[in-house]
Structure 1
Amino acid sequence: MNYEGITTEIARGLLELRARIAQAKIPSSKLDETLNIATWNVREFGRKPRTKTALYYIAEILRQFDLIGLQEVRDNLGDLNRVLEILGPDWHAVYSDAMTDAGGNRERIAYVYDRRAVAFTGLAAQAQPPRTKRGMEYLSDISWWRRPYMVSFHSGNFDFVCISAHIRWGNSERDRLPEIEALADWVYAKAQEKDADGKDLIVMGDFNVPSEKSPLFQALTARGLRVPDKLLRSTFGSNLEKNKRYDQILQMPEYPESFTNAGGVLDFYQGDHTPLFPRLTKQAMTYQLSDHLPLWVQINTNTEEHTLRALAEG
């Protein structure tokens, strides 16, 4: 972290934030053995410039992980670039183009990663829904307001693809169901591709799922995506009140041992924002940090034994 020029107030706030982060009990990742991957909807990130305090807090949260998928990144990347400067030269980002119509809300998706642990391997694309030929055209029946964004990475010998989405809110839960069903089907089909860039898939984002009992959650997990047990508990939530399941992070592992069942939520709010932003209302605070909490999982990247067993069997 680059602490050059921070004020006494920012330093004190960072110490408070670190104490809150410690309570999340995020296990350390180990080079060539495990990765900590997170997802975070950072409210309207880039719509209006954030304060220096907020940028340091965001950087402090991001640095707890090796790779983070960010939703609600806006077309202006100024604040994202400033966060990367705070994190230092080992941190990079890859991001989608902004969707400039009303459905897209001028949003893009970004992945921020520590290149000491993770390497970008070349694939970066919006999800392409299945098409059928109609006359002289190839058209799709799926309408994603904001197309999911996938990027390929590797860590050691472990290759994987992250897929991040921000599902529409709509007028009701029913409006969200077709997009979620289509995404679950698309992820399953991607995992079956013979020449896929990585068959271990990490799916994350803001799905606007109210609870684990919702038909939306059932649709999302119907095709094999797995969720750590801790993120299935009814007491868990990703909003500040921790009573809604809007955000999700799931895995479709190529090797069973890559799924560790470890995951959780990082609660930077803890019912009181004033130690971090003493002069802001709660509402104003959500536009500096967010109204969503980051979720994380730890995955096992050491699949050498699986590879050796397969080779030994011929």
Structure 2
Amino acid sequence: MFHGNVSLEIAEGLKVLRRRIDAARIPASKLDETLNIATWNIRDFGKKRRSQAAIHYIAEIIGQFDLVGIVETRDDLTDLTRVLPILGPYWDVVYSDAILDAGGNRERIVYVFDGRVVAFNGLAAEASPPRRKSGTEYLPAESWWRAPYVASFKSGNFDFVAFTTHVRWGDSTAARTAELQGLANWLGAKMAERHKEDADILVMGDFNIPSLKSPMFAALTSTGLQLPAALAKGSFGSNLARNKRYDQILHFARYPENFSNAGGVLDFFASDHRPLFPDLTKDAFTYQLSDHLPLWIQIRTDIDGAQLDQLIQRKRAGR
């Protein structure tokens, strides 16, 4: 991390933040063996210029992981460009275009990743709802307020596709559930494609799902998405009160056991924002850091053993 000659206040805040990070017990990743991935809704990131302290704190949090899918990044990327130099010269970024209408909220999706651990693998595209022919035109059959952003990555000998989205809030839970079902259908169809980019898809973002027992979660997982075992344990949430599971990391995986190593939330709030921003109200604090906590998981990327096990099983079965 390259914090440089920061002020006394920022240095003291970073010490507090690091103690809160330590409490999350995020295991260190090991090159070519494990990968730490997070999803984080950074509230209105780029809408209004953040303080220098916030930029350093955001960089410190992102730097605990190897790849972070960020939602609610706005069209102005100035604050993102302030964060990257603090992370260091080996960090890189891939991001979508902004959606400028009210439903899109001028948002884009960003993948920030440590190039020493993760390599961008070539695919970067927005996912679109399926189309139906109407007269001579092909029009979307349903509405997603914000297009998910799909990108492929490689870590060690583990290739995967990341799918990140920010699902509508809106006034209608029925419309939100329908959008979640549409995303699940798209992902199920992607897995059935003969020429899909990869068999490992990591699905993450802010799905605005209040609980794992909600019909919304049932809709999202209706076509086979699985919740990693490490994130199924406990009843923690990803909002500051830790009682709502708005954010999710799920997967289609060839080797599900590789997704059960460790996971949870990084609670930078710890029920008291004042040690980080003593002069701000709690609401103002959420526009400096966020009203969401990063949700994270560690993945085992050394899949040689699992591949050999599958090969042995096929050979013994005569296939």
Question: What interval of TM-score do these two structures reach, taking the shorter chain for normalisation?
Answer: over 0.9
2:101 aligned with 1:98: no
Distance of 1:230 and 1:244 partners within structure 2: 17
Corresponding residue for residue 155 of structure 1: 155
The 3 A distance-change label for structure 1 pair 79 and 220 is: same
Distance of 1:302 and 1:235 partners within structure 2: 30
Please give the secondary structure, in 2, of the residue aligned with 1:30.
coil
For residues 33-182 of structure 1, the aligned pairs below 5 Å read: 33-182=33-182
Corresponding residue for residue 291 of structure 1: 291
- The count of residues paired between Structure 1 and Structure 2 equals 314
Distance of 1:262 and 1:250 partners within structure 2: 14
1:169 and 1:175 in contact (8 A); partners too: no
Please give the secondary structure, in 2, of the residue aligned with 1:180.
helix
2:230 and 2:297 in contact (8 A); partners too: no
Corresponding residue for residue 29 of structure 2: 29
The alpha-carbon deviation at position 230 of structure 1 amounts to: 5.0
Distance of 1:66 and 1:189 partners within structure 2: 29
Distance of 1:229 and 1:198 partners within structure 2: 22
Please give the secondary structure, in 1, of the residue aligned with 2:82.
helix
Q: CA RMSD in A?
A: 1.5
Sequence identity (%): 60
The alpha-carbon deviation at position 235 of structure 1 amounts to: 3.1
Distance of 1:230 and 1:260 partners within structure 2: 5
Distance of 1:196 and 1:229 partners within structure 2: 25
Distance of 1:262 and 1:176 partners within structure 2: 30
Deviation sequence 1:74-108 (CA, Å, 0-9, x none)? 00000001100111101111000000011100000
Corresponding residue for residue 189 of structure 1: 189
Please give the secondary structure, in 1, of the residue aligned with 2:260.
strand
- The one-letter amino acid paired with 1:306 is A
Corresponding residue for residue 276 of structure 2: 276
TM-score by length of 2: 0.94
Gaps of 5+ in 2: none
Deviates more, 1:38-47 or 1:211-220: 211-220
Distance of 1:235 and 1:260 partners within structure 2: 16
The alpha-carbon deviation at position 218 of structure 1 amounts to: 1.1
Distance of 1:261 and 1:28 partners within structure 2: 12
- The one-letter amino acid paired with 1:269 is F
2:20 aligned with 1:11: no
Deviation sequence 1:224-266 (CA, Å, 0-9, x none)? 2222345335631111111111111111112233322521011
Deviation sequence 1:48-92 (CA, Å, 0-9, x none)? 110110000000000110100000000000000110011110111
Please give the secondary structure, in 2, of the residue aligned with 1:152.
strand
Corresponding residue for residue 239 of structure 2: 239
Distance of 2:136 and 2:172 partners within structure 1: 36
Distance of 2:123 and 2:112 partners within structure 1: 15
Please give the secondary structure, in 1, of the residue aligned with 2:93.
strand
Please give the secondary structure, in 2, of the residue aligned with 1:283.
helix
TM-score by length of 1: 0.96
